[in-house]
Structure 1
């Protein structure tokens, strides 16, 4: 009875030591500097789904968004775009697989500082099936929603670095 418990504890301790030793750590909530706790959030296209997702993510991160100029910082979503690159073809010449490239550009404007413009790309592979067009369009919509959520979280994490 003593041996199995000892082996179990030893295995647990070994896993913990390996995880800590390789540098693994849990990702914590983004901590933003004090001057970024109240942000004016704008977009070149305020009707974009990324803009709505970003506002939702900021609210979940307890960052106050305001429309007034009382804030000392402004986060501006300049643009987001989706491009496709063909990866493979079916024997009949139709596209079998795409690489989706979601590009986001944003700008952080602080009082008395030079604006910081940043951009990044997120990629996903997407397999097309012309026989299931309706299901594939729904899958594409889900992938885009996932990319927007990931992009908004990445923007918030990057804001913590400025």
Structure 2
């Protein structure tokens, strides 16, 4: 065996050991709260692509979508959805060359009675992109692609928050001590 063939065999083993040593593991399946029931995604924007994507992702995760006639539905309320650009670098003429695209979503998950399963919270994502002020062709298309990627990442982030709450509730229920009632004592007296 040559040194080269020995290295070819040792490198994959070393990489596998490195991955297991760092704590890497595949993400497990999404867990939804057990008492979720039918789910309706509501947004301030009636035609929000994020709301549509979240509804589809929840259905794929096993949630039952609420219909128009469903009265007792759990509501995933998208209270705010904001996009913003901020220049982060300028050229010698003071024109913006690089931007930071920001995307923030505020949401809450409520039971049919109005109590919060997941309290109101905001998730914010940011990505930087280059925009050549002299050659603007293609910049808008790149920004749209970046928005689509950020929207997909936002769907995953919201679902991870729902998953974390469901896992926490399941763990708390499993760790809660069960109430043990003592066996009844028999006070039978014989005459």
TM-score, normalised via structure 2 length: 0.73
d(CA) in 1 for partners of 2:100, 2:44: 26
CA RMSD of aligned residues (A): 2.4
| 1:70 paired residue number | 72
| 1:152 paired residue number | 155
d(CA) in 2 for partners of 1:88, 1:98: 7
- Listed as ranges, the matches of 1:84-123 within 5 Å are 84-111=85-112, 114-115=115-116, 116-123=119-126
Q: Indicate conservation of the 8 Å contact 2:72/2:112, yes or no.
A: no
String of CA shifts for 1:81-101, please: whole Å, max 9, x gaps.
111222111111111111111
1:15 Cα deviation after fit: 2.3
1:134 Cα deviation after fit: 3.7
State the structure with more CA Rg: 2
d(CA) in 2 for partners of 1:2, 1:69: 72
Structure with the largest fraction of strand: 1
1:74 Cα deviation after fit: 1.5
d(CA) in 1 for partners of 2:100, 2:66: 37
1:24 Cα deviation after fit: 0.6
d(CA) in 1 for partners of 2:85, 2:22: 36
Change (3 A) 1:36 1:89: same
Q: Indicate conservation of the 8 Å contact 2:40/2:55, yes or no.
A: no
Q: Indicate conservation of the 8 Å contact 1:40/1:69, yes or no.
A: no
Deviates more, 1:122-131 or 1:109-118: 109-118
1:16 aligns with 2:9: no
- Unaligned regions of 5+ residues in structure 1, if any? none
Q: Which of structures 1 and 2 has the larger relative contact order (alpha carbons within 8 angstroms, sep 6+)?
A: 1
Deviates more, 1:145-154 or 1:3-12: 3-12
1:9 Cα deviation after fit: 5.1
Change (3 A) 1:125 1:61: same
What secondary structure, in the 3-state scheme, does the structure 1 residue paired with 2:164 have?
A: coil
d(CA) in 2 for partners of 1:3, 1:94: 56
d(CA) in 1 for partners of 2:43, 2:75: 10
| 2:138 paired residue number | 135
| 1:124 paired residue number | 127
